[in-house]
Chains A and B, each alone.
Chain A
Amino acid sequence: MSARRVLAIAWPVLPLVILVALPFNGLNGYLLALLYYTFTYAAMSVGWNIIGGYTGYISLANLGFFGLGSYVAGLMLTHLGWPILLTSPLVGIICALVAAAIGWVALRTRGPSFVIVTLAFTFIVQFLALNLKGITGGSAGLYLPLLTMDPLLLGDLFYYYMLGVLVLAIAVAIGIRRSRFGLGLIAIREDEGKAEGSGVNTSLFKIVAFMISAWFAAVAGAIHAQYLNYVDPDLAFELIIMLYMIVMTLLGSRGTVWGPVLGAFLLFPLQESLVYWVPPAIAGEVHLALLGVVLVLVARFMPNGLLVTVQNLIGRPPPPRWEPVPVVAGEPTPARAGRDE
């Protein structure tokens, strides 16, 4: 293997090592929290990218899954005593199954029904959270028991947990990108009719992609519920979460593995630092409006996103994905033509 290939595979290891080591160097609470949020957003963006970026179907449901994940995890904790840090994968699966149901309604056809259904879904889930007061506590929210643990280590715990989720998300994205499933998703985005006519089961592929994205959103929501020790219909379904996911993915480069990660690491700290310049009373609104402006500008002027635009500028060709893999001995191979072109 050439040095270049080694570098191509190994380069993320260094930042990962740094991120793992940071808390040991006495990172202050604010930065720990900042990175926790960044990891969370990055993981959710990578997840959103699988449906929104690879297949091109814009999902507005991931916010709904985030909130649903928060509530399911919170209720499991308060009613069954199951710790969220352990149940989060299960919560993810539950929400993924809900995604399958929604996908069955909205993804078997092409057209705009998916956006509409996902928007409706998020609204409905929030509505139920607000109005099923007996179950969810309504607008008062759910108070979750604190973790029995040294409070000083709590920040580290959530930091590493979400870092782990992010690493998992990236691994999944890489796996998808290199697989026939990922190729099928991209084919769906490029020309869905042609993909279907090539034998790609587009309905199934779309639904699976949607389920995977829902899993990550739900896990993030579940963990965040424990992070705040509180779930409430306003926080769990805060629109800016959805907007962040989408803008991060688009800004970074949708349809790539690292684009959403880049978008998250750039955008979140940047937006947070804005807080210093804006009167606190309208900080939330300014955030929202600003993100909206960024979204419009990126869509209009840099729709390929940063990663792809930069790669095009420096003339770097995309990495080869279909390297001939040495065939295992004993496996039958068709005779090769062995002729030069």
Chain B
Amino acid sequence: MLLLQGLVLGILVGGMYALMASGLTLIFGVMRLINIAHAAVIIFASYLSWQLVLSLGIDPLISIVILVVVFFIGGALLQKYVLSALIDKDLSLALLATLGVANVLEGMEGALWTSSFHSINTPYAENTYQFGEIFVPEIRIITFAASVILLGGLYVLLNHSNLGRAIRATTQNRGVAQLVGVNVNRITMIAFGIGIAVAAAAGPLMGMYYPFYPNSHWGWIGKLMAIVVLGGLGSFRGTLLAALVLGIAEQVAILYIPANWAAMVFFVFLFAVLIVRPQGFFGHVARESL
């Protein structure tokens, strides 16, 4: 049944969407910052993974390990030397800085790899499995599985480790966290690094899934923002749920309308949420910062 196909594919892609968006929500949580460069980081990681496949024959799934480490360091450095000074002064400046970073990445990609479409092709993921009447491409299962593993790791980190506890405390109430001894500046730096690392992890997966080119991050950042707003800015659970909902909505829509129009589903939800319930699924209605 067609609808069931949409549902299954929706869940599979939703898992990857959740991975892509989880870093964004984490960063918002600790810094109250919308990281406009988030999708650009994902795409950049896709390009690097593509290059690693080409030059060193490294499997994209394996490259995730390398990229996570590299991007964690890069992210933490960016936060420490650029963003942290801006967050205190004026959040809009930090936002503009991320806009700048997004364009730097896009420019670099275009210069290094031209503006043509790229995609990461893996010889082992060419099959399509059939379950009853539902066709599931192998690649989607693999990316889903990888996403779930990474998200699981992130979940464990956030909820069952000291670091995670410190991050959650900083997210909920920075001032109080500081009072109880959390080094909020260091935690923020680490959390941002993690957010960027998670984005980088999603890069190779996304690259195996969809073709990409330097400008494509603009389409993606819009979708990711729709996901985190729907889920509730700063809520990890919310992001997971919203990613699944939107993934399903998109895949079901694809059954009836052309694929590129199906992406508009994200924005329909975005505007609907902002009008009807701005805090999304699990966002808290902040006691208005008066």
B-binding residues in A (CB < 8 A): 52, 56-58, 60, 105-106, 109-113, 115-117, 119-120, 123-124, 127, 131, 193, 197, 239, 243, 246, 250, 282, 284-296, 299-300, 303
Contact = CB atoms under 8 A, between A and B. Distances in A.
Interface of B: 28, 32, 34, 36, 82, 85-86, 89-90, 92-97, 99-111, 115, 214-215, 218-219, 221-222, 225-226, 229, 233, 260-261, 263-264, 267, 270-271, 274-275, 278, 288-290
Given A116-B34, A289-B104, A289-B106, A193 B289 contact: yes
A106 B274 CA distance: 7
Contacts of A284: 110
Given A285-B214, A303-B89, A119 B107 contact: no
A105 B275 contact: yes
Contact of A116 (B105, B106, B270): B270
B92 A119 contact: no
Contacts of B278: 109, 113
**Secondary structure dominating the interface of B:** helix
11 contacts: A58-B95, A109-B278, A111-B233, A119-B222, A120-B225, A197-B290, A239-B106, A285-B109, A285-B111, A292-B102, A295-B103
B246 to A, nearest CB: 13
A60 B264 CA distance: 18
Q: Which 8 A-B pairs have the closest CB atoms?
A: A289-B107, A295-B100, A285-B110, A292-B103, A292-B104, A288-B107, A296-B100, A193-B290
A320 B224 CA distance: 46
B85 A300 contact: yes
B27 to A, nearest CB: 12
B110 A246 contact: no
Given A109-B278, A293-B104, A299-B86, A115 B95 contact: yes
Contacts of A106: 274
Given A58-B96, A119-B225, A120-B226, A285 B107 contact: yes
Contact of A291 (B85, B103, B110, B270): B103
Contacts of A290: 107
A243 B103 contact: yes
A222 to B, nearest CB: 23
Contact of A288 (B110, B233, B289): B110
Nearest to B271: A105
A282 B270 contact: no
Contacts of A250: 96
Given A105-B274, A193-B288, A282-B111, 4 more contacts: A288-B107, A289-B107, A303-B90, A303-B93
A321 B107 CA distance: 43
A270 to B, nearest CB: 17
A127 B262 CA distance: 12
A127 B226 contact: no
B219 to A, nearest CB: 7
Contacts of B107: 285-290, 292
Given A112-B34, A246-B96, A289-B111, A123 B274 contact: no
